[in-house]
Chain A
Amino acid sequence: MQSNRMIEQFSRLQVPTEEDVKEYYEDVKDELVQQAEMGEQKLREQIKQNPALAIGIGLIAGLALGWWLKR
């Protein structure tokens, strides 16, 4: 939504003010944080539903990471 507003401003050849940019930045940040929180909540539920799978994936990821770092 906010990005559309910025694009509209740019398309009208209006230079956004500092306040506009700050507001845009805050909006985008809030949106990203909200998305991340939703994703984290979803992932947490998935881990609670499939604990063995989550542990296995974590272990494999750790092995891959260790292999990549040490080897």
Chain B
Amino acid sequence: MATSNHNNEVAQIRESMQRIRCELQTDVEQVRESASQLTSWQYYVRKYPWACVGAATALGALVVPKRKHVVNQIDADSLRNMISNLKLTPKSQQEEVDDAEKSGFMKGMVTFVTGLALKAATNHVMNNYITPGFSSGRTYPSSSPVPHSPAEASATAASHRMGNDTI
């Protein structure tokens, strides 16, 4: 008797668990659907149709730029208006100092970078396109390695000179 009651309880619990599982699955699906619905713009258009259409209209109206006022003939009044619209405020002393510092720093940077670039370009041209000894008028024997820099070239020339002296 007791075992049959126990079996019934177990079966009931299993059924209820099964039911809960099914409900949970449907709940999860509903949540997923509602989440995907919330991220879709069409949902908002369907929910607030007039507001969305009005917002689109306002956006379209705002996107259009204003027409530029072109003056074909400048008369004295319009010229005076233009000059009065210009805000000509004199720079303060501190601003002038800052500008001068900025321009000085920029000038120095440009000079430094230009010098580096010129040096690199000169080295490149000297190493690759100008034959060794072109500037000094010396020729190197074919067996000797070609110097790749002015320092190497002078060292090579010195060694040749010493060799000639010994002979």
Chain A contact residues, CB within 8 Å of chain B: 44, 47-48, 51-52, 54-67, 69-71
**Interface flag for B52 (CB, 8 Å):** yes
Q: How many A-B residue pairs have CB under 8 A?
A: 71
Total interface residues on B, CB under 8 Å, equals 22
Task: Please state if B56 and A59 are interface contacts (CB–CB under 8 Å).
Answer: yes
Q: How far is the CB of A11 from chain B (nearest CB, A)?
A: 43
Secondary structure at chain B's binding surface: helix, strand, loop or mixed?
helix
**Interface flag for B64 (CB, 8 Å):** yes
Q: What are the 4 tightest A-B residue pairs by CB atom distance, in nearest-first order? A: A62-B60, A66-B64, A66-B61, A58-B56
Secondary structure at chain A's binding surface: helix, strand, loop or mixed?
helix
Q: How far is the CB of A37 from chain B (nearest CB, A)?
A: 14
| Residue from the list B50, B52, B64 in contact with A71, Cβ < 8 A | B64
In chain B, positions 116-159 with a C-beta closer than 8 Å to chain A are: none
Q: A44-B50, A47-B49 are in contact. Are A71 and B67 (CB under 8 A)?
A: yes
